[in-house]
Chains A and B, each alone.
Chain A
Amino acid sequence: MGDPWNENIYSLIQQPAQQQQKQPRHFSKFKSSMRDEVTKTKAEYKTMGPAKVQTRPPNEFLKKHEKEPKLPEKMKFKYPNEERRKPPVPKRDEQPILGLKTNKNFITQNAIENIMAVPKKPEKNYADTRKGDKHPLEPSGLEPKFVHKKDFGKTPGYLERRKAELQRAQDEYNSYIAEHFRRGAMKQLNEDEREDILNGLKSNWELLHHEYQGLSVVTDTAPKKNRKERMEAEMKQLERDIESIEKHKIIYIAN
């Protein structure tokens, strides 16, 4: 016991013992496979005689080293960086190549190279002190860069303006037409009426077509020829009408 002056009666109160949380019971994950294996292999020898398996024919008897593993063919050693390797050091008995001399004219070559050379562009620098300490201009941010423009990648303003103009004109026209309608100047064909007309035209064409198909093969007389021509003309007319109605969604009827 420590210092009696540091004691306190409240430390006599027994704290309830921490209840040990019980771990869930361990089940091996191999339990089922183990059980299957045991039941499968259990008393395997209790058979009705030896297992019926295909035996080898007598001429294919077991040879020497047959069951040993087959090793791959021996390969020549090769460095992985064979191409990049330096040539080997000359052998002791190898003679160095002597008497090699170039016939290149270095002076003219140099002159030609300099004459042909494209002049170097001056470096873009800026000087920030009186003495002329220079720094590359490009990373400094002083040079304007096209991609850093404010309106880079945006539609130009004049296009926007034009688009707005067109829209406004269309709206104005629409409102004018609407105004016109309101005054009763023109009547717009609605969708159902248009559909009816279209269907009517098509059915007319079909009737006509049916009749046309039923004409005699030989057009030997004038009335036959006339009739056929008239029918062809009618059908053409109908086809034109159908096309014109199908092409235009909005149809106005003038007074």
Chain B
Amino acid sequence: MSNILLDEAPLLELETMIGFGGDVKEGLKVHPDKQFIIYPVGCTVVIEDISSKSQEFFSGHTNNVSCITVSRSGKYVASGQVTHPGFKADMYLWDFYERCAVFHFKPMHHNKVEALAISPSDMYLVSLGGQDDGSVCVWNIGTGDAICGAPAQVMSAGCTRTIAYFNHSDDKFVTGGDNTLRVWDLDVGARKVKPTEVNVGQIKRNINCIEVDSEDAFFYCGTTTGDIMMVNTKSNNFQKHGPTKERFSLGVTALCLLKTGDFLVGSGCGDVQIVNEKFKPTTKKQKVEGAVTSIALRGSGHQFFVGTSKCNIYRFDFAEFTQKLITTCHHHMVNDIVFPHNSSDLVITCSSEDIRIWNTNDCKELLRIVQPNKTCNALAIMKDGASIITGWDDGKIRAFSPESGSLLYIVEHSYGASTTALATTTDNKRIVSGTNLGHVVVWDVPDPMYLRTLKKGSTVNVTKHDLLKEHKAQVTCIKINMNDTECVTSSIDGSCIIWDLLGLKRKMMIRVNTLFQYTCYGPDDYHIITTGTDRKIGYWEISDGSMIREVEGSLSGSVNCMDISGHTFVSGGDDKLVKLWNYDQGTVQYIGKGHSAAITGVKIAPSGPYDSKPKFIISVSKDGAILKWRFPDMNVDY
């Protein structure tokens, strides 16, 4: 019974997106009207109002956005993307004020669009292909046609990385990259671009970023060496470079020219510093987390925004040179997501190296628990809210306190090399964990009264447990029923097992030829629903393990996650769609489009005792984005 009528189902309304593609070089832009910031999240371009934080989206890209540029007039926004190797990458030109796509350019560059630049009078768009492409292409913004193209660098040079237009000329631009720095003259009549190599003399530099000064007299290049090169545009000769003594470690990754003639420099190690005209670093310096990938001035620079590779956006005040973190998100795949019991105000997500607690109302991060060089695979919270239980890829289970984030107790060896699934009982006394080798272990949590007697700062090693060994491969999901008498575990060995938690033995087993990804108890715990890589959602009877129904969960890609609330459930998977299902009918009611990568977790917010329905759905994906969807009004009993 596959009745997924994707085109007919209404769309879920996207409320907020927590995300920032920090890896995109110069991806964070401030619109010339000083009201909006523009940044990529996965395959979407987000326009965010600086003051009200409301978001709008340019969506159309089929893969991650790799570059963004905004025209000087503010009318156009152009963005390029990456694709799979062997394919040509898409580019879009958007109208900022109409919030719509103007052109979907004919795919020209192989694999990736590296950089984009729009001419000062909005006539031409120059695009630069990536490493596999290595070409420069000039487009007419009026017609959307390509004017001409040329190889971006000589054969002996490396990859060209960046592009910058002159400020007063529509037919002059600069490209720079590994051992290449070229000034290009555009001849539209002859449909030609003519490069002129810049003579840099003895020095060898790899260019990260280019800034042209306001009179078009010089341009400045930030290099991987950690200094700034100054080039005369009249003679195309290298003039000078600096700082010569204390260079920026890990290179100058972002450069901004200020009206005073000073430079704002962002480095690969996270320094943001002002360098004077003589390339001498001043004392105005701040450190941010991750490599600085973009610096965007608001207006003439009384305030500026800094984006880093750790997906943070900082707002700097120039006069005082102070920073404030305004947006942050996971910079790796989000592995799990959990709401505290009966509370939709908070949500906990886990990713590589960190666990974060978010306020769902204003989407602000409240707490971050960092464990370097480890990945958190699974997340659970005790029903009383006193501890967050986390499963890590070093095979340990750690429990953290939710306010200070300090380690409460630890399970040193949860069998297997990695803990992949977790669940807690409602009496706050037991944890059920699953490993990558198929162990299901029931741990007895130490009594909090006993733990309070211990010395402050001492962590407890939990060892008391019962092992249930039936699965042959990684356990992907554990769910405990309402009254803690049984639990269901799914595994990628193609089996789902229902365990008796009182007698600690197997009750029922389901075997299908699939890799089970997720399972959920149905309403009133009589059924379970399962999903897997076979793209099917199966309904099963718990008492005898027989299949009740099977519906097509997705047309492409596995279904990775589900969550159920009353007679409605949501699913998310590799098809990047969040689907809201009616449990009884087995039909898709709503579809949420907005994820740019495979969805790894989805949860319906717990509804409070006075709510008639859940307020929202939160889904997380492999690109680190957290999306909040408004729960639609449906005539269903929740």
A102 contacts partner chain B, Cβ-Cβ < 8 Å: no
In the complex with contacts A3-B456, A13-B343, A13-B345, A8-B448 CB distance below 8 A: no
A41 contacts partner chain B, Cβ-Cβ < 8 Å: no
Complex alpha-carbon distance, A10 and B357, angstroms: 11
Q: Would you call A12 and B401 a contact (CB within 8 A)?
A: no
Complex alpha-carbon distance, A8 and B366, angstroms: 14
Q: Would you call B402 and A7 a contact (CB within 8 A)?
A: yes
Q: Mark B451-474, 1 if CB is under 8 A from A, else 0.
A: 110001000000000000000000
B403 contacts partner chain A, Cβ-Cβ < 8 Å: yes
Number of interface residues of B (CB under 8 A): 25
A5 contacts partner chain B, Cβ-Cβ < 8 Å: yes
Segment 327-377 of B: residues with Cβ below 8 Å from A: 340, 343, 345-346, 348, 357, 359, 361, 366-367
Q: Which residue of B lies closest to A12 (CB)?
A: B366
Q: Would you call B346 and A3 a contact (CB within 8 A)?
A: no
Q: Would you call A14 and B403 a contact (CB within 8 A)?
A: no
Q: Would you call B456 and A9 a contact (CB within 8 A)?
A: no
Q: How large is the interface on A (under 10, 10 to 19, 20 to 34, 35 or more residues)?
A: 10 to 19
Complex alpha-carbon distance, A4 and B452, angstroms: 9
CB proximity of A65 to chain B, nearest CB, Å:
73
Q: Would you call B452 and A3 a contact (CB within 8 A)?
A: yes
Q: Would you call B357 and A12 a contact (CB within 8 A)?
A: yes
Q: Mark B380-418, 1 if CB is under 8 A from A, else 0.
A: 010011101000000000000111101010000000000
Q: Mark A207-234, 1 if CB is under 8 A from B, else 0.
A: 0000000000000000000000000000
Q: Which residue of B lies closest to A1 (CB)?
A: B404
Q: Would you call B448 and A10 a contact (CB within 8 A)?
A: no
Segment 447-504 of B: residues with Cβ below 8 Å from A: 448, 451-452, 456
Q: Would you call A10 and B401 a contact (CB within 8 A)?
A: no
CB proximity of B423 to chain A, nearest CB, Å:
17
A11 contacts partner chain B, Cβ-Cβ < 8 Å: yes
Q: Would you call A9 and B359 a contact (CB within 8 A)?
A: no
- In the complex, which residues of chain A have a beta carbon less than 8 angstroms from the beta carbon of B367? 12
Complex alpha-carbon distance, A23 and B381, angstroms: 45
CB proximity of B447 to chain A, nearest CB, Å:
11
- In the complex, which residues of chain A have a beta carbon less than 8 angstroms from the beta carbon of B346? 9-10, 12-13
- In the complex, which residues of chain A have a beta carbon less than 8 angstroms from the beta carbon of B357? 9, 12
Q: Would you call B401 and A4 a contact (CB within 8 A)?
A: yes
- In the complex, which residues of chain B have a beta carbon less than 8 angstroms from the beta carbon of A1? 403-404, 406
Q: Which residue of A lies closest to B344 (CB)?
A: A13
- In the complex, which residues of chain A have a beta carbon less than 8 angstroms from the beta carbon of B448? 5
Q: Would you call B386 and A8 a contact (CB within 8 A)?
A: yes
- In the complex, which residues of chain B have a beta carbon less than 8 angstroms from the beta carbon of A3? 452, 456
- Given A1-B403, A4-B403, A7-B404, 13 other A-B residues pairs in contact with their CB atoms under 8 A: A1-B404, A3-B456, A4-B406, A5-B401, A9-B346, A10-B340, A11-B403, A12-B366, A12-B367, A12-B402, A13-B346, A13-B359, A14-B359
Footprint of B on A, CB under 8 Å? 1, 3-14
Footprint of A on B, CB under 8 Å? 340, 343, 345-346, 348, 357, 359, 361, 366-367, 381, 384-386, 388, 401-404, 406, 408, 448, 451-452, 456
